[in-house]
Structure 1
Amino acid sequence: MKKTALIHSEISYMISQMGHTDGIAIADSGLPIPKEVKRIDLALKKGIPSFMDTLDTILEELKVEEVVIAQEMETVSPVLYEKFMRKIYEVEENENIKIKITKVDHETFKNMTKESKGIVRTGEHTPYANVILKSGVVF
């Protein structure tokens, strides 16, 4: 049995298949998911699971070198943005790495999700609670 916190088999498998710079997105319940991209739907009801809980769990399993967010997150959802940034800084400190933060407009973000290996849909109802995590390498 796995030792890490992530026990969801589809997410774990998707991460195991990722190579350097491949992306996986974590989305709020409203983000449109392109038909050609694998959807892993975790949403149960409003807020469950949350964007941050899902992010925290995936970050325990995935080595990340870049995050892509919609620039609107910072102004429209500042509380979530601050929590997100604190988490990224925490990962940087714990892993002694620098994670590139890329901010794009929301339309560009939605187009970028088409290149993701998959999108994990949460029950989050906070606007712009979306991120693309780009895989780093562990060596």
Structure 2
Amino acid sequence: MKKTPLLNVALSRLIASLGHGDKVVIGDAGLPVPPQVELIDLALTPGIPDFISTLKVVLSEMQVQSHVLAEEIYDKQPSALAALETLHVQNALGTRELVSHEQFKALSRQARAIIRTGECSPYCNIVLIAGVTF
């Protein structure tokens, strides 16, 4: 059995298959998923699993070079924003890029996969760009 916190087979497979620069989106329950992008649907009920818990578990195994947020997250100020800022300051997310929500949705078409959470707060979405460990 694995020693790390990530037990989900689909997420483990995805992270193990990433190359430098690949994109993974973690999204709220309402983020549209383009038909050509793999969906890893973790949503069970509103709020479960939440965005930040999902992000932290993914970060336990994924090397992140940078991330992208929709600038609208600063307008809505969801409770997850404080935890995102802490992770950013701790350099767990690499460099940050802000784009409009429409640009974010367009960028999500380039993702290897979108991980859908049960998060029901607006704009709780992130694109993680894979880095390398060497």
TM-score (norm 2): 0.96
Q: Which runs of 5+ in 2 are unaligned?
A: none
Give 2:96's aligned residue: 101
Q: Which moved more, 1:118-127 or 1:74-83?
A: 74-83
Q: Which moved more, 1:76-85 or 1:26-35?
A: 76-85
Q: Distance in 2 between matches of 1:88 and 1:61?
A: 17
How far off is 1:88 after superposition? 2.4
Instruction: Please give the per-residue CA displacement for 1:67-106, whole angstroms capped at 9, x wherever unaligned.
Output: 101000012125322221112223x2xx7xx811000000
* Equivalences for residues 1-139 of structure 1 within 5 A: 1-90=1-90, 92=91, 99-139=94-134
How far off is 1:66 after superposition? 0.4
Are 2:78 and 2:121, in contact at CA under 8 Å, matched by a contact in 1? no
Q: Distance in 2 between matches of 1:88 and 1:51?
A: 15
- Residue 68 of structure 1 aligns with an amino acid whose one-letter code is V
Q: Distance in 2 between matches of 1:136 and 1:89?
A: 18
Instruction: List 4+ stretches of structure 1 deviating above 3 A.
Output: none
Aligned-pair identity (%): 39
How far off is 1:127 after superposition? 0.1
Higher share of residues assigned helix: 1
- Residue 58 of structure 1 aligns with an amino acid whose one-letter code is V
Q: How many residues align?
A: 134
Q: Distance in 2 between matches of 1:84 and 1:104?
A: 16
Are 1:40 and 1:120, in contact at CA under 8 Å, matched by a contact in 2? yes
Q: Distance in 1 between matches of 2:21 and 2:43?
A: 26
TM-score (norm 1): 0.92
- Residue 126 of structure 2 aligns with an amino acid whose one-letter code is V
Q: Which runs of 5+ in 1 are unaligned?
A: none
Q: Distance in 2 between matches of 1:88 and 1:10?
A: 26
